[in-house]
Amino acid sequence: MMIFKGRAISKFSGEGEALVSKQPISFFGGVDRNGIIRERNHDLYGMDITGRILIFPRGKGSTVGSYIIYQLKKNGHAPAGIINIETEPIIATGCIIAEIPLIDRLEVNPLEKIRTGDYVLMDGKNGLVMVRRKIE
Q: What is the pLDDT of residues 27-66, one digit of tens each?
A: 999 999 999 999 999 999 999 999 999 999 999 988 899 9
Q: Which helix (H) or strand (E) holds 75?
A: helix 64-75
CB–CB of 100/79 below 8 Å? yes
Rounded to whole angstroms, the Cα distance separating 28 from 133 reads 31
Number of Cα atoms under 13 Å in the Cβ half of residue 102: 26
Name the active-site residue from 10, 21, 26, 62. Answer: 62
Domains of the chain by range and CATH?
2-132 (3.50.30.10)
Catalytic (active site) residue 26: no
Tens digits of residue pLDDT in 85-133: 999 999 999 999 999 999 999 999 999 999 999 999 999 999 999 999 9
Question: What is the average pLDDT across 73-89?
Answer: 97
Judge if pTM exceeds 0.85.
Answer: yes
Burial class (CB within 10 angstroms; exposed 0-12, middle 13-18, buried 19+) of 135? exposed
Note the Cα 50 to chain centre separation in Å.
10
Pair 120, 18: CB distance under 8 Å? yes
